[in-house]
Amino acid sequence: MPRFLLLLIWICLSQPVHAFGAESARASATIYRCSVDGVATFSDRPCGDQSSAYEPDAALVSTYTAPPTSVAPDGARRSPPRPIARGSSIAAVQAKRAEECQRIQASLRDIRSRMRAGYSAKEGERLKARRAKLESTRRVRRC
């Protein structure tokens, strides 16, 4: 990034924010561009007879919008952990989780055995997709 842009950014960010709001402070701030020994210099005050008001080009500024944090890196949405219902014991919740993990393991075993037995191309793609979904669920549930 050119030095004058860094200096310009630093000047814009270092402007004081007044009690009446940041928008008013930025609107009243003028940036002056001067040439000192052949080097472009930016200032909040005129620096000589050759200084001119400078208006930055907003089209040259790039922005980045971060993806939402609720989406997992693989694109699957993770559901928030379910709260333990009143009246249910921790042992019951653990037993339910273990049962779900066993069901996932049994489904994966069934898919592996069906894939060993032979299959058509279309069925193979369905089995692969189902296996990937079950493995993802197993990782999320930490089975």
Q: At what angle do helices 90-116 and 121-141 cross, to 10 degrees?
A: 160
Q: Greater confidence, 27 or 70?
A: 70
pLDDT level of residue 44 (50, 70, 90 thresholds): confident
3-state helix, strand, coil in the chain (%, to 5): 50, 10, 40
Q: Greater confidence, 16 or 114?
A: 114
Pairing of strands 52-54, 31-36: antiparallel
Q: Are 123 and 129 in contact (CB under 8 A)?
A: no
pLDDT tens digits for 77-116? 666 666 666 666 888 888 999 999 999 999 999 999 998 9
- pTM score, whole prediction: 0.39
pLDDT level of residue 128 (50, 70, 90 thresholds): very high
Distance, in Å, from the CA atom of 47 to the CA atom of 112, rounded to the nearest integer, reads 77
